[in-house]
Amino acid sequence: MDAAVRELSYSQAIQEAMAIAMEADERVILMGEDIGVYGGAFQVTGDLVERFGPDRVMDTPISELGGAGVAVGAAVTGLRPIFEFQFSDFATLGMEQIVNQAAKMRFMLGGEVSVPVVMRFPAGSGTGAAAQHSQSLEAWLAHVPGLKVIQPATPHDVKGMLLAAVADPDPVMIFEHKLLYKMKGPVPEGHYTVPIGKAEVRREGRDLTIVATSIMVHKALEAAETLAGEGIDIEVIDLRTIRPIDRETVIESVKKTSRLMCVYEAVKTLGIGAEISAMIAESEAFDYLDAPIVRLGGAETPIPYNPELEKAAVPQVPGIVAAARDLAKGVR
């Protein structure tokens, strides 16, 4: 490994990105509940309050609507706030400011203002946090014109995409799967960006395309390795951004493999897999399909507290293997 590339955890990569942004631009501020002395609900902000002071790392009251509103207002007045929701589920409490204010101000004011706010959402199941603290609501926000919605799957990407988000003139929503926080990977030192709106082919293959998001990228890669032993060659695409979607990368992959499966943790109905499926059906790639598109999403249920039921409610590697095997062999 290059000496300039170190192993950082996903949460360390986020903290480093925020520190770099704050050092480079005094307009960058952090806001959120318990992000100061406590260091954040998942200890992501860490000691940044000691490094930059309480005027730039600000604890907000227990009101997601109020905190999000202040962040949007700060962005309109020239600051570049990064606002942390303790759990992505709490976006429901801030939807007025996210959907009706941040997403629409540039349009409604004729382009005279920008809203350079970044909102961070710890998302997903797997921590035993039950139905109100384990949801994947990224498709809700991706439905709204004016917002950019990203789901980095690696420490490298979360640092680069967060730095790209801070520099973006429009609101960027970043969904961080909670189980990724401890995952380690190579992260270059210093400032770099990963483009918003560009997918990444994590594994090339010829028999089947799996388009995955967030933690499901890693599960899809594990499934692909298992199936490689059976002679089934899987291409895995890490979507990374769900608004705007990288149409070209997905379409070209499907034209090559002629089969498509979408894997995501959110509830299957009306999830990102539905949009990907429709996109392919409306594109030239449709004529290349040799089998119906398969969506593998979460169960139609709130996330259970029981750990075994919690696992059963979202796609796991054995289920991805079985579904991909059937699709590749024409069983579906």
Q: In degrees, to the nearest 5, what angle opens at C-alpha 139 toward C-alphas 205 and 251?
A: 30
Rounded Cα distance, 219 and 234, in Å: 13
Rounded Cα distance, 147 and 75, in Å: 14
Class of residue 300 by CB neighbours under 10 A (exposed 0-12, middle 13-18, buried 19+):
exposed
Q: 133, 156, 177, 218: which one is catalytic?
A: 133
- The two tokens of residue 274 are 């539905």
Active site residue 64: yes
- The two tokens of residue 127 are 């921590």
Active site residue 26: no
Q: 16, 33, 64, 138: which one is catalytic?
A: 64
Residue burial 319-331, b: 16+ Cβ < 10 Å; e: rest: ebbebbbebbeee
- The two tokens of residue 81 are 């706030």
Rounded Cα distance, 186 and 252, in Å: 28
Backbone angles phi, psi at 255, to 5 degrees: -60, -30
Strand 5-9, strand 294-298: pairing: unpaired
Class of residue 54 by CB neighbours under 10 A (exposed 0-12, middle 13-18, buried 19+):
exposed
Task: Give the catalytic positions in this structure.
Answer: 64, 133
